[in-house]
Structures are given as C-alpha cells and as structure tokens.
Homo-oligomer: A and B are copies of this chain.
Amino acid sequence: MRTGVWLVGGRGSVAVTSMVGAVALRAGLAEPTGCVTELPPLRHPQLPQLADLVFGGHDVIATPILKKAEALADAGVLPGRLVTALQPELAALDAEVRPAPRGATQAETAALITADIDEFRRRHELGRVVVVNVSSTEPAAEPHEAHAALDVLREALRGPVPVLPPSSLYAYAAFTAGCSFVDFTPSTGARLPALSQLAHERGVPYAGHDGKTGETLVKSVLAPMFAMRALDVRSWSGANLLGGGDGANLSQPAPNAAKAASKQRVLAETLGYTPQGDTRIEYVEDLGEFKTAWDLITFRGFLGTAMRMEFSWHGCDSALAAPLVLDLVRLTAAAHRAGRSGPLPELAFFFKDPLGDVEHGLTAQFDALVRMVEGLA
C-alpha cells in the first residue's frame, strides 16, 4: 500500500528537489545518493518503497513545480536533463500542491488543512500520510497558556487571536487527521505539551527538528573526536553564508537566533562544556542555492599546547536535505505502522536539534537508528 507525503512548503527548493528525486528514482534515472535508508544496515522490508511514495502539499506561493525545478537546474542543484526528461511527471504534481488555506480562526484553518490531507489520502488510497514541514523557518514562538493542555488549546483555537505558530498548527492538523508529522525546520512544530498529548491520543508519531545538512553535521563528528581524544576545545566560532530564500529569511534577527541556538547545542551536549564562540548567519545572494560555512576551532593538547582547526563546507542544502526527507518519510511511516506514537528520538541522526534526551554524536545516533530499524516487526 502506498504512502503519502504531504509537504508544507511544497513549492520550495527542498520539497521540489525531493519530488524530482523520488520521481527520477522511480523512473530509474538516478541513484539514491544521499538516501540513508538505502544503506545496507538500514534497508528493511517494513519501510515503504521509494517508488510507493505519493506527493502532495500546501504552499503560499504559486510558482509551478516545473518552473521551480528548471530554476533549480539553472542553479546547479538538479541536472537539467533530468528536469527535461521528467516534465510530464512534474507538471502532474502541480495539481497536488494546493494553496495554503486560511480560515477565520485557527480552528477553521486547521479544519481546512485536515480536509485537504483527508481528500489526498482518500483519492490516492494511501495507507498513511506523513506531513513534513519544509517551509521557511519561523521566528521563535511567543509562549501562550493554551500550549500547555489540549483542551485549553482546542478552546483557544476557536478564538479570534492566533495562538499557535504556523508549524504547530500544521502539527495539530496532521495529528487530528491521524497523520504522523516531521519538522525539518527549527520551528516550534509539535514541541508543545498540548500537541504531544494529541499525538499520543491519536496514536501518531512525530520527529524533528531542523534537518542536519551541513555545518552541524560536521560538528556532530568533530566534537566527539575532540571529546574521545580528551582534547580541550576552547573556542568554536562559525560563519554561515547562505544564498537562496532560506538565507534571506535566516539573516533576519528572529529566525537567525532560533537557528543559531540549535546549531551550538551539539557542542555542549557532546563535549560536556560550552566552548566560547558563536555561529553567525549571513545572507549572500550570490551563493544562490549553495551555502558556505567556515568554522574555526581552537583547542589545547597535552600540557596546554595551543592548536587549531578550520573547515569550510560548500554544500547545497536542498541536495543534502531532499534524500533525508525521503528517509524520514519512510522511517516515520514504518514507525507509525509499527504502532509507535509520540516523539521518535531514534531519528536524532537527521536533526540539529533532536527531540528527547539523546546522544549528539553522529555515530551513536546512527547506531540508534539501526537498532530502531532492526526492531521494526
């Protein structure tokens, strides 16, 4: 039975790259490079096949998917010949990504979202649907008393004033529709007690936050290296230069702060102390869909000898994120099918700011992931 993927931000770079990739893999036109669930220790019959994924979603923008895919090809993210070869499939996907609905109250908006997802599930006869947030990063949400309990939240959603940030409203709608939810962004998403309650009530799992695609991925192996060698990390400073829509958004103070905090967490948790240093995010339009991160690490060895390491990472976020989105859909759907509900801390491998009290070293996270997959019935 096929599995649905409902993409919040379905016309953005990550979403379109994910869809182009899934369609290309199905057509035998590409290799699953970057797809973790295709590695031997993670291949498992309980995971839905890549070919069985069906895509839909919401977006506030209306750019045709084919046009976006062509722009991504011009930007070096997708091979032009692939986009040309898949024109009919990409054009067909356009009907599946609908305008993001907007009701008079948040309760109404949630109902409209739920209805769209339900209709998508029925029409494609899908076994289950995974809702994935790949929209832009929100500013950190204002606390509200309605976040603490589901009944208070339900009441508050009916009022005229919004009480949930958009990512959390999507989690609410997904859970209400009996769907699992993955937050690939640093936004609030399901991280509210009321939503956790709802997920357990509806028996659906969720995962997040903030796909680990670049600098933090490197940190999650270098920080354990310093720790395992008992070296004393004194400072870790980073500059993140981003083009693309994400860069323009993240260079705004509020989303920047949300993202930067998420990026430094791995250090404190892996090293056991917090070295000096910040991560700055800057928007550099000329980088387009690519991103350059530079980090300087100063550390002390035996008897205090001062040493240092620098690295530069020149990556394409969409090309790194898209296969992980497909992985997360397969793993979350399989967990849902296996009866899991609530947070999935075993998926920490994929995230900068994982749910639960988990290891931050990448290898420990990979091992946890393998054990989770092996445990699927």
The interface bits of chain A over 348-377 (1 if a CB of B lies within 8 angstroms of the residue's CB, else 0) are: 010000000000011110100000000000
Taken together as a complex, chains A and B put the C-alpha atoms of A21 and B231 apart, in Å, by 15
Chain B CB within 8 A of A103 CB = no
Taken together as a complex, chains A and B put the C-alpha atoms of A300 and B363 apart, in Å, by 21
Closest Cβ of chain B: how far from A237's Cβ, in Å? 5
Taken together as a complex, chains A and B put the C-alpha atoms of A307 and B218 apart, in Å, by 14
Are A320 and B303 interface neighbours, CB within 8 A?
Answer: no
Are A323 and B230 interface neighbours, CB within 8 A?
Answer: yes
Contact of A276 among B32, B285, B310, B363 (CB under 8 A): B285
Taken together as a complex, chains A and B put the C-alpha atoms of A300 and B315 apart, in Å, by 10
List B contacts of A300 (CB < 8 A): 33
Taken together as a complex, chains A and B put the C-alpha atoms of A309 and B232 apart, in Å, by 24
Contact of A277 among B34, B39, B284 (CB under 8 A): B284
Contact of A79 among B221, B241, B304 (CB under 8 A): B304
Closest Cβ of chain B: how far from A325's Cβ, in Å? 10
Are B303 and A79 interface neighbours, CB within 8 A?
Answer: yes
Copies of this chain in the oligomer? 4
Closest Cβ of chain B: how far from A256's Cβ, in Å? 12
List B contacts of A224 (CB < 8 A): 221, 362-363
Closest Cβ of chain B: how far from A206's Cβ, in Å? 23
Are B309 and A312 interface neighbours, CB within 8 A?
Answer: yes
Chain B CB within 8 A of A228 CB = yes
Taken together as a complex, chains A and B put the C-alpha atoms of A176 and B17 apart, in Å, by 59
Q: Among A109-117, A157-165, A167-175, A291-299, which stretch is in contact with chain B?
A: A291-299
List B contacts of A101 (CB < 8 A): none
List B contacts of A304 (CB < 8 A): 30, 33, 79
Contact of A362 among B17, B20, B228 (CB under 8 A): B228
Contacts known (A33-B231, A276-B286, A301-B34); A312 close to B310, Cβ less than 8 A: yes
Chain B CB within 8 A of A156 CB = no
Are B33 and A241 interface neighbours, CB within 8 A?
Answer: no
Taken together as a complex, chains A and B put the C-alpha atoms of A229 and B315 apart, in Å, by 14
Contact of A78 among B78, B298, B303, B349 (CB under 8 A): B303
Are B366 and A303 interface neighbours, CB within 8 A?
Answer: no
Chain B CB within 8 A of A71 CB = no
Are B366 and A39 interface neighbours, CB within 8 A?
Answer: no
Chain A residues 271-295 with CB under 8 Å of chain B are 276-278, 280, 282, 284-287, 292, 294
Closest Cβ of chain B: how far from A81's Cβ, in Å? 9
Taken together as a complex, chains A and B put the C-alpha atoms of A285 and B277 apart, in Å, by 9
Are B21 and A237 interface neighbours, CB within 8 A?
Answer: no
Closest Cβ of chain B: how far from A277's Cβ, in Å? 6
